[in-house]
Amino acid sequence: MKRAKSHQRPVPPSRTALVQIEKPIYGGAFLARLEGKATFVPLVLPGEEVRIRIVEDKRSYATAEPEELAKISPSRIAPRCPHFGPCGGCNYQHADYEIQLAIKQQILRETLHRAGIPAPEHIPMLSGNPWHYRNRIRAAFDRAGRLGYRARRSHDVVPISECPVAAPLLVQAALGAAEILRTSKPTFRPIEISLFCNADETKLLASIYVQGSATQGFDQFAEGWNERVPALVGVELVEQGRLDQEPKQIARWGETSITCQVGGIDYRVDHGAFFQVNRWLIDGLVQRVIAERQGQLAWDLFAGVGLFSRRLAERFTEVAAVEYSPYATQCLRKNLEGTPGRAITSETLAFLRRQQRTPRPDLIVVDPPRAGLGLETTALLGKIAAAEIVYVSCDPTTLARDLRALLAMGYSLASVTLADLFPQTFHLETVVELRRS
Protein backbone atom coordinates (compact mmCIF):
# COMPACT_ATOMS: atom_id res chain seq x y z
CA MET A 1 0.00 0.00 0.00
CA LYS A 2 1.34 3.40 -0.94
CA ARG A 3 1.50 5.82 1.98
CA ALA A 4 0.07 9.32 1.71
CA LYS A 5 2.65 12.05 1.77
CA SER A 6 2.94 13.89 5.08
CA HIS A 7 3.16 17.69 5.16
CA GLN A 8 5.14 17.50 8.38
CA ARG A 9 8.74 16.34 8.40
CA PRO A 10 10.10 14.42 11.40
CA VAL A 11 12.23 16.64 13.60
CA PRO A 12 15.25 15.33 15.47
CA PRO A 13 14.74 16.20 19.17
CA SER A 14 18.21 17.67 19.41
CA ARG A 15 17.90 20.04 16.43
CA THR A 16 18.87 23.54 17.52
CA ALA A 17 19.98 26.69 15.72
CA LEU A 18 21.03 30.26 16.42
CA VAL A 19 18.62 32.80 14.90
CA GLN A 20 17.99 36.54 14.83
CA ILE A 21 14.52 37.62 16.00
CA GLU A 22 12.97 40.00 13.47
CA LYS A 23 9.51 41.16 14.53
CA PRO A 24 6.34 40.28 16.48
CA ILE A 25 3.59 38.12 14.97
CA TYR A 26 -0.06 38.17 16.03
CA GLY A 27 -0.63 35.29 18.41
CA GLY A 28 2.23 35.97 20.83
CA ALA A 29 5.23 34.60 18.90
CA PHE A 30 8.06 36.42 17.12
CA LEU A 31 9.44 35.83 13.64
CA ALA A 32 12.88 34.44 12.85
CA ARG A 33 14.24 32.92 9.63
CA LEU A 34 15.91 29.53 9.63
CA GLU A 35 17.34 28.58 6.25
CA GLY A 36 14.82 31.01 4.74
CA LYS A 37 11.81 29.42 6.46
CA ALA A 38 9.57 31.49 8.74
CA THR A 39 10.09 30.24 12.29
CA PHE A 40 7.88 31.35 15.17
CA VAL A 41 9.46 31.70 18.60
CA PRO A 42 7.70 32.75 21.84
CA LEU A 43 9.14 34.63 24.84
CA VAL A 44 11.75 36.57 22.84
CA LEU A 45 12.03 40.14 21.53
CA PRO A 46 13.02 41.79 18.22
CA GLY A 47 16.77 42.21 17.84
CA GLU A 48 17.66 39.33 20.12
CA GLU A 49 19.90 36.46 19.02
CA VAL A 50 18.50 33.23 20.37
CA ARG A 51 19.44 29.59 20.29
CA ILE A 52 16.18 27.81 19.53
CA ARG A 53 14.96 24.22 19.55
CA ILE A 54 12.61 23.27 16.71
CA VAL A 55 9.44 21.60 18.05
CA GLU A 56 7.40 21.48 14.84
CA ASP A 57 8.59 21.63 11.26
CA LYS A 58 5.99 22.04 8.54
CA ARG A 59 6.36 22.72 4.84
CA SER A 60 5.88 26.50 5.03
CA TYR A 61 6.88 27.33 8.61
CA ALA A 62 8.36 25.99 11.83
CA THR A 63 7.72 26.60 15.52
CA ALA A 64 10.43 26.62 18.14
CA GLU A 65 11.20 27.11 21.81
CA PRO A 66 13.97 29.45 23.00
CA GLU A 67 16.89 27.59 24.60
CA GLU A 68 19.44 30.34 25.25
CA LEU A 69 19.68 34.11 24.75
CA ALA A 70 22.93 34.94 22.98
CA LYS A 71 22.09 38.65 22.61
CA ILE A 72 19.53 40.30 24.89
CA SER A 73 17.27 43.22 23.97
CA PRO A 74 17.54 46.31 26.21
CA SER A 75 13.74 46.25 26.32
CA ARG A 76 13.71 42.90 28.17
CA ILE A 77 12.64 43.01 31.81
CA ALA A 78 12.12 40.44 34.55
CA PRO A 79 8.58 39.00 34.41
CA ARG A 80 6.43 39.92 37.38
CA CYS A 81 4.73 36.53 37.59
CA PRO A 82 6.70 33.42 38.69
CA HIS A 83 4.53 31.28 36.40
CA PHE A 84 5.28 33.27 33.24
CA GLY A 85 6.59 31.03 30.47
CA PRO A 86 5.09 27.63 31.34
CA CYS A 87 1.66 29.25 31.88
CA GLY A 88 -0.24 29.93 28.67
CA GLY A 89 -2.05 33.03 29.93
CA CYS A 90 0.48 35.80 29.21
CA ASN A 91 2.85 36.41 26.30
CA TYR A 92 4.68 39.69 26.90
CA GLN A 93 5.57 39.98 30.59
CA HIS A 94 9.24 39.94 29.60
CA ALA A 95 8.79 43.27 27.77
CA ASP A 96 8.47 46.77 29.19
CA TYR A 97 4.86 47.92 28.91
CA GLU A 98 5.65 50.72 26.44
CA ILE A 99 7.30 48.10 24.25
CA GLN A 100 4.17 45.93 24.50
CA LEU A 101 2.09 48.84 23.20
CA ALA A 102 4.54 49.43 20.35
CA ILE A 103 4.41 45.71 19.46
CA LYS A 104 0.62 45.81 19.23
CA GLN A 105 0.70 49.00 17.16
CA GLN A 106 3.09 47.32 14.73
CA ILE A 107 0.96 44.17 14.49
CA LEU A 108 -2.22 46.17 13.88
CA ARG A 109 -0.60 48.34 11.19
CA GLU A 110 0.94 45.37 9.37
CA THR A 111 -2.32 43.41 9.50
CA LEU A 112 -4.24 46.30 7.96
CA HIS A 113 -1.50 46.86 5.38
CA ARG A 114 -1.57 43.22 4.24
CA ALA A 115 -5.31 43.59 3.63
CA GLY A 116 -4.70 46.66 1.49
CA ILE A 117 -6.13 49.06 4.08
CA PRO A 118 -4.18 52.29 4.57
CA ALA A 119 -3.90 52.73 8.35
CA PRO A 120 -4.12 56.31 9.62
CA GLU A 121 -0.79 58.01 10.30
CA HIS A 122 -1.79 58.32 13.96
CA ILE A 123 -3.47 55.49 15.85
CA PRO A 124 -4.48 56.68 19.33
CA MET A 125 -4.00 54.27 22.25
CA LEU A 126 -6.44 53.52 25.04
CA SER A 127 -4.36 52.03 27.86
CA GLY A 128 -4.17 52.00 31.64
CA ASN A 129 -2.76 50.06 34.57
CA PRO A 130 -1.40 46.82 33.03
CA TRP A 131 -1.79 44.82 36.27
CA HIS A 132 -4.74 43.40 38.24
CA TYR A 133 -7.09 44.49 35.47
CA ARG A 134 -9.03 41.29 34.81
CA ASN A 135 -12.52 41.05 36.29
CA ARG A 136 -12.90 37.45 35.09
CA ILE A 137 -10.70 34.36 35.14
CA ARG A 138 -11.18 30.71 34.22
CA ALA A 139 -8.86 28.14 35.74
CA ALA A 140 -8.61 24.35 35.79
CA PHE A 141 -7.93 21.65 38.36
CA ASP A 142 -5.18 19.09 37.90
CA ARG A 143 -5.52 15.47 39.06
CA ALA A 144 -4.26 16.38 42.52
CA GLY A 145 -6.92 19.07 42.87
CA ARG A 146 -4.47 21.94 42.48
CA LEU A 147 -5.70 25.06 40.67
CA GLY A 148 -3.96 26.53 37.65
CA TYR A 149 -4.06 27.74 34.06
CA ARG A 150 -3.52 25.76 30.88
CA ALA A 151 0.08 25.47 29.78
CA ARG A 152 1.53 26.84 26.58
CA ARG A 153 1.24 24.34 23.71
CA SER A 154 -0.79 21.83 25.76
CA HIS A 155 -3.88 21.27 27.87
CA ASP A 156 -1.79 20.45 30.94
CA VAL A 157 -2.52 22.48 34.06
CA VAL A 158 0.21 24.73 35.47
CA PRO A 159 -0.58 25.14 39.20
CA ILE A 160 -0.50 28.79 40.30
CA SER A 161 -0.01 30.63 43.57
CA GLU A 162 -0.70 34.09 42.14
CA CYS A 163 -1.85 35.90 38.99
CA PRO A 164 -0.82 39.56 38.75
CA VAL A 165 -3.11 40.34 35.80
CA ALA A 166 -6.26 39.33 37.72
CA ALA A 167 -8.18 41.24 40.36
CA PRO A 168 -6.75 39.95 43.67
CA LEU A 169 -10.20 38.85 44.87
CA LEU A 170 -10.45 36.37 41.99
CA VAL A 171 -7.17 34.65 42.84
CA GLN A 172 -7.94 34.60 46.55
CA ALA A 173 -11.37 33.08 45.91
CA ALA A 174 -10.11 30.51 43.37
CA LEU A 175 -7.31 29.24 45.60
CA GLY A 176 -9.71 29.15 48.55
CA ALA A 177 -12.17 27.03 46.58
CA ALA A 178 -9.42 24.59 45.59
CA GLU A 179 -8.38 24.17 49.21
CA ILE A 180 -11.96 23.55 50.38
CA LEU A 181 -12.56 21.05 47.59
CA ARG A 182 -9.37 19.12 48.41
CA THR A 183 -10.26 18.82 52.09
CA SER A 184 -14.04 18.27 51.86
CA LYS A 185 -13.97 15.83 48.91
CA PRO A 186 -17.58 16.34 47.71
CA THR A 187 -19.23 13.88 45.36
CA PHE A 188 -19.07 16.29 42.41
CA ARG A 189 -15.82 16.29 40.45
CA PRO A 190 -14.60 19.81 39.55
CA ILE A 191 -12.84 20.29 36.22
CA GLU A 192 -12.68 24.07 35.89
CA ILE A 193 -13.77 27.17 37.73
CA SER A 194 -14.86 30.58 36.37
CA LEU A 195 -15.04 33.71 38.53
CA PHE A 196 -16.33 37.20 37.74
CA CYS A 197 -16.30 40.27 40.00
CA ASN A 198 -17.38 43.89 39.78
CA ALA A 199 -14.82 46.67 39.46
CA ASP A 200 -14.42 47.38 43.18
CA GLU A 201 -14.23 43.66 44.09
CA THR A 202 -17.23 43.80 46.43
CA LYS A 203 -19.35 41.21 44.59
CA LEU A 204 -18.32 37.89 43.08
CA LEU A 205 -20.04 35.22 40.97
CA ALA A 206 -18.58 31.76 40.39
CA SER A 207 -19.24 28.74 38.19
CA ILE A 208 -17.86 25.30 39.00
CA TYR A 209 -17.66 23.01 35.95
CA VAL A 210 -17.96 19.31 36.70
CA GLN A 211 -18.14 15.89 35.08
CA GLY A 212 -21.30 13.95 35.82
CA SER A 213 -24.47 15.11 37.54
CA ALA A 214 -23.64 14.49 41.23
CA THR A 215 -24.45 17.49 43.44
CA GLN A 216 -24.16 16.10 46.97
CA GLY A 217 -22.24 18.46 49.24
CA PHE A 218 -22.60 21.46 46.92
CA ASP A 219 -24.55 23.70 49.31
CA GLN A 220 -22.11 22.98 52.15
CA PHE A 221 -19.20 23.75 49.84
CA ALA A 222 -20.76 27.06 48.70
CA GLU A 223 -21.56 28.12 52.28
CA GLY A 224 -18.05 27.31 53.47
CA TRP A 225 -16.59 29.18 50.51
CA ASN A 226 -18.77 32.22 51.30
CA GLU A 227 -17.54 32.21 54.91
CA ARG A 228 -13.98 32.40 53.62
CA VAL A 229 -14.78 34.91 50.83
CA PRO A 230 -17.71 37.15 51.94
CA ALA A 231 -17.84 38.92 48.55
CA LEU A 232 -19.06 35.66 47.00
CA VAL A 233 -22.79 36.11 46.39
CA GLY A 234 -23.61 33.34 43.91
CA VAL A 235 -22.27 29.95 42.80
CA GLU A 236 -23.55 27.61 40.11
CA LEU A 237 -22.61 24.00 39.48
CA VAL A 238 -22.40 23.32 35.73
CA GLU A 239 -22.24 19.92 34.09
CA GLN A 240 -19.73 20.06 31.27
CA GLY A 241 -21.09 17.71 28.59
CA ARG A 242 -19.55 16.50 25.36
CA LEU A 243 -18.28 18.97 22.78
CA ASP A 244 -21.62 18.85 20.95
CA GLN A 245 -23.61 19.58 24.13
CA GLU A 246 -24.29 22.86 25.87
CA PRO A 247 -23.14 23.07 29.50
CA LYS A 248 -26.08 22.61 31.89
CA GLN A 249 -26.59 24.18 35.30
CA ILE A 250 -27.41 21.38 37.77
CA ALA A 251 -27.31 23.26 41.09
CA ARG A 252 -27.20 26.86 42.32
CA TRP A 253 -26.48 28.69 45.55
CA GLY A 254 -27.15 32.39 46.21
CA GLU A 255 -27.65 35.08 43.61
CA THR A 256 -27.66 34.67 39.83
CA SER A 257 -26.28 38.11 38.98
CA ILE A 258 -24.20 41.02 40.22
CA THR A 259 -24.32 44.72 39.40
CA CYS A 260 -21.41 46.37 37.60
CA GLN A 261 -21.24 50.15 37.38
CA VAL A 262 -19.83 51.81 34.27
CA GLY A 263 -19.95 55.56 33.78
CA GLY A 264 -22.43 55.96 36.63
CA ILE A 265 -24.84 53.37 35.15
CA ASP A 266 -25.62 50.06 36.86
CA TYR A 267 -25.56 46.95 34.63
CA ARG A 268 -26.94 43.58 35.63
CA VAL A 269 -24.56 40.77 34.67
CA ASP A 270 -25.65 37.13 35.10
CA HIS A 271 -23.69 33.90 35.33
CA GLY A 272 -22.03 33.31 31.95
CA ALA A 273 -22.97 36.66 30.36
CA PHE A 274 -20.23 38.44 28.42
CA PHE A 275 -18.85 41.66 29.91
CA GLN A 276 -15.66 43.48 28.97
CA VAL A 277 -12.79 42.06 31.00
CA ASN A 278 -10.60 45.11 31.76
CA ARG A 279 -12.10 46.83 34.79
CA TRP A 280 -9.77 49.85 34.44
CA LEU A 281 -10.68 50.63 30.81
CA ILE A 282 -14.39 49.83 30.40
CA ASP A 283 -15.40 53.47 30.97
CA GLY A 284 -12.87 54.69 28.41
CA LEU A 285 -13.92 52.08 25.86
CA VAL A 286 -17.60 53.04 26.14
CA GLN A 287 -16.75 56.72 25.82
CA ARG A 288 -14.65 56.02 22.71
CA VAL A 289 -17.52 54.10 21.08
CA ILE A 290 -20.34 56.48 22.03
CA ALA A 291 -18.44 59.81 21.90
CA GLU A 292 -20.85 62.65 21.05
CA ARG A 293 -22.94 60.62 18.65
CA GLN A 294 -26.70 61.24 18.62
CA GLY A 295 -29.66 60.93 16.29
CA GLN A 296 -32.94 59.16 15.65
CA LEU A 297 -32.08 55.47 15.33
CA ALA A 298 -29.08 53.38 16.42
CA TRP A 299 -28.47 49.65 16.22
CA ASP A 300 -26.23 47.82 18.68
CA LEU A 301 -25.39 44.44 17.14
CA PHE A 302 -23.87 41.69 19.31
CA ALA A 303 -25.14 43.82 22.19
CA GLY A 304 -24.31 41.50 25.10
CA VAL A 305 -25.80 42.87 28.32
CA GLY A 306 -26.17 46.32 26.73
CA LEU A 307 -22.86 47.99 27.60
CA PHE A 308 -23.08 50.27 24.56
CA SER A 309 -26.85 50.29 23.89
CA ARG A 310 -27.66 51.55 27.40
CA ARG A 311 -25.53 54.64 26.76
CA LEU A 312 -26.80 55.01 23.20
CA ALA A 313 -30.34 55.11 24.62
CA GLU A 314 -29.45 58.40 26.29
CA ARG A 315 -28.55 60.00 22.95
CA PHE A 316 -30.81 58.41 20.33
CA THR A 317 -34.61 58.48 20.02
CA GLU A 318 -34.67 54.73 19.38
CA VAL A 319 -32.10 51.98 19.93
CA ALA A 320 -32.36 48.38 18.71
CA ALA A 321 -30.08 46.11 20.78
CA VAL A 322 -29.61 42.69 19.15
CA GLU A 323 -28.34 39.71 21.15
CA TYR A 324 -28.79 35.96 20.89
CA SER A 325 -26.92 34.49 23.88
CA PRO A 326 -29.35 33.12 26.50
CA TYR A 327 -26.87 34.20 29.19
CA ALA A 328 -27.11 37.85 28.14
CA THR A 329 -30.63 38.48 26.82
CA GLN A 330 -32.37 38.71 30.19
CA CYS A 331 -29.70 41.13 31.41
CA LEU A 332 -30.09 43.18 28.23
CA ARG A 333 -33.84 43.58 28.72
CA LYS A 334 -33.34 44.54 32.36
CA ASN A 335 -30.56 47.02 31.60
CA LEU A 336 -32.68 48.79 28.94
CA GLU A 337 -35.81 49.14 31.11
CA GLY A 338 -37.13 52.70 31.16
CA THR A 339 -35.07 53.77 28.12
CA PRO A 340 -35.80 54.10 24.38
CA GLY A 341 -33.75 50.94 23.92
CA ARG A 342 -35.43 47.77 22.70
CA ALA A 343 -33.88 44.33 23.30
CA ILE A 344 -34.21 41.99 20.31
CA THR A 345 -33.44 38.30 20.80
CA SER A 346 -31.91 37.32 17.48
CA GLU A 347 -28.68 36.36 15.81
CA THR A 348 -27.21 39.40 14.09
CA LEU A 349 -27.28 37.87 10.62
CA ALA A 350 -30.94 36.87 10.95
CA PHE A 351 -31.80 40.37 12.19
CA LEU A 352 -30.04 42.01 9.23
CA ARG A 353 -31.79 39.77 6.73
CA ARG A 354 -35.11 41.14 7.99
CA GLN A 355 -34.12 44.82 7.84
CA GLN A 356 -33.88 45.59 4.14
CA ARG A 357 -37.09 47.67 4.02
CA THR A 358 -36.97 49.28 7.47
CA PRO A 359 -35.81 52.83 8.33
CA ARG A 360 -32.09 53.30 7.87
CA PRO A 361 -30.22 53.75 11.18
CA ASP A 362 -28.01 56.76 11.74
CA LEU A 363 -25.46 54.61 13.55
CA ILE A 364 -24.62 50.91 13.77
CA VAL A 365 -22.32 49.61 16.52
CA VAL A 366 -20.92 46.11 15.98
CA ASP A 367 -18.92 44.18 18.59
CA PRO A 368 -18.64 40.66 17.11
CA PRO A 369 -16.77 37.66 18.54
CA ARG A 370 -13.30 36.75 17.33
CA ALA A 371 -14.65 35.32 14.06
CA GLY A 372 -15.68 38.83 13.01
CA LEU A 373 -18.65 39.73 10.82
CA GLY A 374 -18.14 37.57 7.75
CA LEU A 375 -19.09 37.96 4.11
CA GLU A 376 -22.90 38.04 4.26
CA THR A 377 -23.09 40.31 7.30
CA THR A 378 -20.75 42.89 5.76
CA ALA A 379 -22.69 42.69 2.48
CA LEU A 380 -25.98 43.38 4.29
CA LEU A 381 -24.44 46.25 6.24
CA GLY A 382 -23.26 47.72 2.93
CA LYS A 383 -26.81 47.55 1.53
CA ILE A 384 -28.33 49.11 4.65
CA ALA A 385 -25.83 51.95 4.28
CA ALA A 386 -26.01 53.57 7.71
CA ALA A 387 -24.27 56.93 7.83
CA GLU A 388 -21.78 55.64 10.41
CA ILE A 389 -20.54 52.28 11.69
CA VAL A 390 -18.42 51.81 14.80
CA TYR A 391 -16.67 48.44 14.72
CA VAL A 392 -15.27 47.09 18.01
CA SER A 393 -12.93 44.20 17.17
CA CYS A 394 -11.03 41.69 19.29
CA ASP A 395 -9.09 40.17 16.36
CA PRO A 396 -7.11 42.31 13.88
CA THR A 397 -7.10 39.61 11.19
CA THR A 398 -10.87 39.28 10.90
CA LEU A 399 -11.20 43.05 11.37
CA ALA A 400 -8.96 43.67 8.34
CA ARG A 401 -10.98 41.20 6.25
CA ASP A 402 -14.28 42.87 7.19
CA LEU A 403 -12.95 46.40 6.73
CA ARG A 404 -11.78 45.57 3.22
CA ALA A 405 -15.33 44.51 2.36
CA LEU A 406 -16.95 47.56 3.96
CA LEU A 407 -14.55 49.98 2.29
CA ALA A 408 -15.38 48.39 -1.07
CA MET A 409 -19.07 49.12 -0.38
CA GLY A 410 -18.68 52.85 0.05
CA TYR A 411 -17.34 53.39 3.57
CA SER A 412 -14.17 55.22 4.52
CA LEU A 413 -12.02 55.07 7.65
CA ALA A 414 -12.61 58.02 9.95
CA SER A 415 -10.42 56.81 12.84
CA VAL A 416 -8.73 53.75 14.31
CA THR A 417 -8.07 53.39 18.04
CA LEU A 418 -6.07 50.57 19.62
CA ALA A 419 -7.52 49.66 23.02
CA ASP A 420 -5.14 47.57 25.11
CA LEU A 421 -7.75 45.70 27.12
CA PHE A 422 -5.46 42.69 27.61
CA PRO A 423 -1.99 43.86 28.79
CA GLN A 424 0.75 41.22 29.03
CA THR A 425 -1.05 39.12 26.36
CA PHE A 426 -1.08 39.20 22.55
CA HIS A 427 -4.78 40.10 22.45
CA LEU A 428 -5.70 43.58 21.28
CA GLU A 429 -8.98 45.43 20.84
CA THR A 430 -9.58 47.94 18.06
CA VAL A 431 -12.29 50.59 17.71
CA VAL A 432 -12.81 51.70 14.10
CA GLU A 433 -15.09 54.52 12.97
CA LEU A 434 -16.43 54.14 9.43
CA ARG A 435 -18.38 56.82 7.57
CA ARG A 436 -20.37 56.60 4.40
CA SER A 437 -18.35 58.20 1.61
CB-based contact 50:66 (threshold 8 Å): yes
Rounded to an integer, what distance in angstroms lies between the CA atom of residue 75 and that of residue 218? 49
pLDDT tens sequence across 275-285: 999 999 999 99
Residue 437: predicted pLDDT: 81
Give the pLDDT confidence score for residue 357 in this predicted structure: 81
The arithmetic mean of pLDDT across residues 155-168, rounded, is 97
* Predicted model pTM: 0.94
Q: Choosing from 81, 90, 197, 394, which is the catalytic residue?
A: 394
pLDDT tens-digit map of 220-242: 999 999 999 999 999 999 998 77
**CA-closest candidate to residue 427, choices 360, 370, 354, 379:** 370
The whole-number average pLDDT for the span 401-416 is: 97
Percent of the chain with pLDDT over 90: 90
CA distance 337 to 254: 24
pLDDT number for residue 229: 98
CA distance 93 to 413: 33
Q: Which CATH superfamily is domain 16-76 in?
A: Nucleic acid-binding proteins (2.40.50.140)
**Bridge partners for 57 per DSSP:** 62
Q: Spell out the domain ranges in the chain.
A: 16-76, 110-128+280-436, 136-260
User: Catalytic: 394?
Assistant: yes
Q: Within a 13 Å sphere around the CA of 33, how many CA atoms are in the beta-carbon half?
A: 5
pLDDT for residue 14: 55
CATH of 136-260, one of 3.40.50.300, 2.40.50.1070, 2.20.25.90, 3.40.50.620: 2.40.50.1070
- pLDDT number for residue 380: 97
Same fold, 16-76 and 136-260: yes
Name the class of domain 110-128+280-436.
alpha beta
